[in-house]
Chain A
Amino acid sequence: MNNLRPNILSIKKLTFLGFLLAITPLYAQQVKKAEKAAILLRNATLHTVSRGTVSGDLLIRDGLIADIGTNLAIHSGTAVLDCSGKHVYPGFIDGGSKVGLAEIGSISVTNDFSELGDFIPHMKALTAVNPNSVSIPVTRVNGVTTVFAKPEGSTFPGTGALIDLFGYTPDQMSCGSERVVMQFPSTGRRGRWDRRSDEDIKKETEKALKNIDQVYESAIQYARIDSAAKADRQSWTTNNPQMEALLPVIRGQQPLFVEANSYTDITALLDWISNKKIKVVLTGASEGWRVADRIARAGIPVITGPVLSVPRRENDRYDAMYTNAGKMAGAGVKVAIRTDESENTRNLPFNAGFAAAYGMGTDEALRAITLTPAEIFGVQERYGSLDKGKVANLFVATGDPFEMKTRIEKLFIRGWDIPLESRHTLLYDEFLERTPGNQKK
């Protein structure tokens, strides 16, 4: 170990060597930029998700997967990367995260996911996405190329946005899929310290349910007037951005993303929507396994997670959260997995890995962070699998990307060849062999 610690002599040696090899240290000083790729990934194992695992070539051009096949022709200007023994996966999609909206947990002014107010569906997460958030490169180097950046904190905290984790403006990052999110009135206790009586909780929940009913009724009225105004070519002057934001939900153009976690809340949600015409995606669903059959019958897709999370009842099995996704999937529910994290959204593949190990199986778990969320967000034509014509969000790995040992060697987002660098790797490069080492000067 000691010989790893550079002393003055070895530093001198290093400088000398560096001089001889001319450029290595200089390169390290330069900022690596993404490059628009025109590249053929040759002889790879392609985990397409949509069509199983195949061997072959994959061509990236103009930001898209231009072609997939065997022995694809090499055009001029196209680089070739030999991927023999390597594995190519579609970029992972986190169905619920705060990457880009949260920077430093304890410093509230760096967090932009929770605006004041209980009914503010018009608050757009995309507006507050910080393309230069330090967390973004940290997240994507683990193969997570796309996340649903979502607001939270009240009943209708705003509208989340599906974003790719590369770009210099929110518009460049946007995948064009935004979704109104809602927190379903919760009957759960907020912690052991929450000593409200059961009756109080019941009362509060009833009140909150009444509120959302009212919102729903108003939104229907608003949509009706808006349609009537358009049909009659009337000019209807109004300023009601909240209701405006709900229009796509009310008109069935988009599903409402509803967060509900406990058994009681999920069943209450299922009751609530049973007589409504809107489409819904259930998010959270920590106790989805208790109601899996009903969710399946209702045909409601689920985005669940984190999988790496403690059971929510003291009398729960220790693995209740590990097995939840698999149990729901087993009952026929369409399940996507999220981290619900901010700076550690990079753990998405490991969350999927645990779900895979605890009953979901690797293929289904892989789908739960690729094609399934793409479908839930309505972007399955462009995202979620390795198919010709899809956006080139993909990575090359040395093996199964759920395994911690596996290395990700190449990453593409929208066909951009993204340097595999982040604050974490840069600090590693700088400090593994610190110079000067253990000297005063």
Chain B
Amino acid sequence: MRGLTRFFPVLMWSVSILCPVLLKAQNSDAPKNVSNTYFLKNCTLVSQPGVINRGHSVIIRDGLIAETGPGVRQPFDAQVISCDSLYVYAGFIDPYSNTGITKPENKERPKAKDPGNPPSDVAGIMPDLNAATLFNPSDKSVEEMRSAGFGISHTLPHGLMLPGQSSIFLLGDGPADRMLVRTASAQNFQFEVSRGVYPSTIIGVMAKFRDLFKNASQGLAYEEKYKINPAGLPRPDQSRETKALYPVVSKSVPLYFLAQHTKDVHRAFAMKEELGFDMVLAEVRQGWHYADKIKAQNITTLLSLNIPEPEKKDSTAKTTDVSKEKESFEKKREESRQNYLTQASLFEKKGIRFAFSYKNVKTGDIHKNIRTLIKNGLSESYALAALTTHPATILGISSMAGTVEKGKIANLVITDKPIFDEKSRIKHVFVEGKKYDMASQSKKPEVTKEKADPISGTWSYTVETPETPQKGKIIISKSGEIYKVTVKDETNSATDYEGVDVSGKEKNKLSFYINTSLDGNVKVDFSLSFEDKLFTGSVNAGHLGSYEIKGEKVAKPEN
């Protein structure tokens, strides 16, 4: 059972790498690239943050930057890109995201027989899983990140408390193995719990991690002793979870802590101080209380680009009875938002060499949000550093990436305006010398011409409940004009629902219900609204409460 599920992601991966190969074959009539040598002529070259050189040229050859400077001669075999009005930057480096890792389906897991002792994969304890074995260059996130200017991602598996090991990949479109820069470069920890099984809470997760870590510490020590002379000694523990943590114990790889909230940051520090490992704080949204501590202990920190949107003024309270209170409420809220927005500039002022992280931000918002941080005091050169040199240093790849310098890998971003200009567009991105042209915004290809039935199909759903969300699938099928709705929960037990009703101009609104005879009858009412590949809505169970439900279309429903 456990072996199988462990094997499962690998299986998925091998299937997915088959797909792009097939696509390539079909596309073989496309024109071949004329030359892999490029001459970027007469650019505004921002070779590193704060160093702006006008009238410089760059030669790219064999995937590397062969030459830069004002007087560089154009090689005969080079394709020429006239850069007169363009800006050239080093390719951006993403030190923390799930780029290239296809999000696994909600695995139909059998109900744990004993919730107190679930198998490791159900519990979310997967430290031996490596992103390198999961990376899929044709996952849409790769192209999206590349289009945003990123040439390198340090990517981690999706998962729970110990989702697995990160690996560093180039964001080209070659086979995964070719794109791999470094494997098993970090171990990861998240305060994410498994629903209903141990550890089901953050206190469970923290206790379990201590347990694993201590076992790894003593296991490592024992293994060394055993290596010297095994005679008379029982064989060391061979458990994969434990062994996978040996590099963390020996500090040969860092442990990335996903720590968004101020309390998460505190808990991460607490674990570090107790157990002693090299820590990287990732996805920090609210870490300003710890700026001094981060600085003093020189903790590598990745700031989240998931920043709060401004709130519209509410119109709920109209009369004057409460206007004063409302005013102060809104003032306090805006002040709070300011803290989020000025965090990056505060960190800059403290001299903390942070980078950004991208696990929880929509790729399309990255540049917009960086601009917001700049408006709130972050300097442009520091912002650029957080995109390039800082993550290069953090990942230990600054000798090969992060700046536009001779000998470095040819990862470049070429824009029509300075990168942080509101109107700036990325024209080209180079990844290891390969040029990717960015389609202009208007020419986005239509995905489907035919207006299909917007709701039929299999959808995954998540119901927001007080603790962890409920997940499952909704299967909607149509025969004639009659719709049928089946809901499968996480344990894969299916229920057919009644009163299926489709409404809305585009036939994209769906409601259905079921009467359950629990200890008192309850009508559970769903009402969903579909848009493209997503739906939102609510589940209403009378006096038992009402919950938000959302979900997305499952690409390839398995049976």
Contact = CB atoms under 8 A, between A and B. Distances in A.
A191 B321 contact: no
Contacts of A192: 466
Interface residues of B, number: 23
A204 B317 contact: no
Contacts of B332: 315
A153 interface: yes
A153 B521 CA distance: 13
B546 A200 contact: yes
A190 B519 CA distance: 21
A405 interface: no
Contacts of A440: none
B540 A204 contact: yes
B464 interface: yes
Contacts of A294: 321
Contact of A204 (B322, B519, B536, B546): B546
Contacts of B545: 190-191, 193-194
Contacts of A195: 464, 547-548
Interface in A248-284: 263-264, 267
A104 B322 CA distance: 40
Interface in A198-233: 198, 200, 204
Nearest to B319: A267
A200 B536 CA distance: 11
Contacts of A297: none
A196 B538 contact: yes
Interface string A170-194: 0000000000000000000011111
A416 to B, nearest CB: 38
B227 interface: no
B466 A193 contact: yes
A291 B546 contact: no
A108 B519 contact: yes
A interface, over-half SS: loop
Contact of B538 (A154, A193, A200, A263): A200
B329 A190 contact: no
Nearest to B322: A290
B316 interface: yes
B545 to A, nearest CB: 5
Contacts of B464: 195
B547 A291 contact: no
B521 A116 contact: yes
A196 B520 contact: no
Contacts of A194: 545-547
Contacts of A237: none
Contacts of B536: 197
Contact of B321 (A116, A196, A291): A291
Interface in B55-82: none
B153 to A, nearest CB: 31
A191 B464 CA distance: 13
Contacts of B519: 108
Interface string A323-365: 0000000000000000000000000000000000000000000
Nearest to B314: A198
A194 B540 CA distance: 11
Interface string B520-556: 1100000000000000101010010111100000000
Contact of A196 (B322, B521, B547): B547
A197 B317 CA distance: 17
B465 interface: yes
Nearest to A118: B542
A193 B465 contact: yes
A264 B315 CA distance: 12
Interface in A133-174: 153-154
B548 A197 contact: yes
A294 B318 CA distance: 14
B543 A153 contact: yes
B528 to A, nearest CB: 11
Interface in B453-490: 464-467
A49 to B, nearest CB: 32
A194 B466 CA distance: 7
A200 B321 contact: no
A284 to B, nearest CB: 16
Interface string A28-58: 0000000000000000000000000000000
Contact of A315 (B317, B321, B329, B548): B329
Given A196-B547, A200-B538, A200-B546, A264 B316 contact: yes
A200 B466 contact: no
A360 to B, nearest CB: 21
A200 B548 contact: yes
Nearest to A109: B519
Contacts of A290: 321-322
Contacts of A291: 321
A267 B316 CA distance: 11
A330 to B, nearest CB: 15
A302 B319 CA distance: 21
Contacts of B520: 108, 116
Nearest to B548: A195
A193 B467 CA distance: 8
Q: Give the most central of A114, A191, A294, A315: most B CB within 10 Å.
A: A315
B314 to A, nearest CB: 9
A153 B544 CA distance: 10
Nearest to A197: B548
A263 B322 contact: yes
A77 to B, nearest CB: 53
A432 to B, nearest CB: 39
8 contacts: A114-B543, A193-B465, A193-B466, A194-B547, A195-B548, A197-B536, A264-B316, A290-B321
**Nearest 7 Cβ contacts at the A-B interface:** A193-B466, A195-B464, A195-B548, A200-B538, A196-B546, A190-B545, A196-B538
Given A200-B548, A263-B322, 6 more contacts: A116-B521, A192-B466, A193-B466, A194-B546, A195-B547, A290-B321
